Amino acid sequence: MSWFQRQIRLQRRGKGCHLVHDEIVKQVPEIRDYKVGMANIFLQHTSASLMLNENCDPDVRRDMNMALDKICPEDFPYIHTDEGPDDMPGHLKSGIIGVSLNIPISNGRLATGTWQGIYLCEHRNHGGDRKVVVTLQGEKK
> SS3 helix, strand, coil % of the chain, rounded to 5?
25, 45, 30
User: Tell me, what DSSP letter sits at residue 11?
Assistant: P
Amino acid at site 37: G
Name all domains of the chain by residue range, CATH numbers in brackets: 14-129 (2.60.120.460)
State the pLDDT at residue 89: 97
Which residues on adjacent β-strands are paired with residue 119? 19, 51
State the pLDDT at residue 118: 98
Taking a C-beta distance cutoff of 8 angstroms, is the pair 103, 38 a contact? yes
Catalogue the E-assigned strands of the chain.
Answer: 2-10, 14-19, 34-43, 48-54, 100-106, 109-110, 116-126, 130-140
User: pLDDT of 74-88, one tens digit each?
Assistant: 999 999 998 999 999
Taking a C-beta distance cutoff of 8 angstroms, is the pair 30, 4 a contact? yes
State the pLDDT at residue 127: 87
Give the chain's residues under pLDDT 70.
Answer: none
Taking a C-beta distance cutoff of 8 angstroms, is the pair 31, 138 a contact? no
User: What 3-state DSSP class applies to 133?
Assistant: strand
State the pLDDT at residue 79: 96
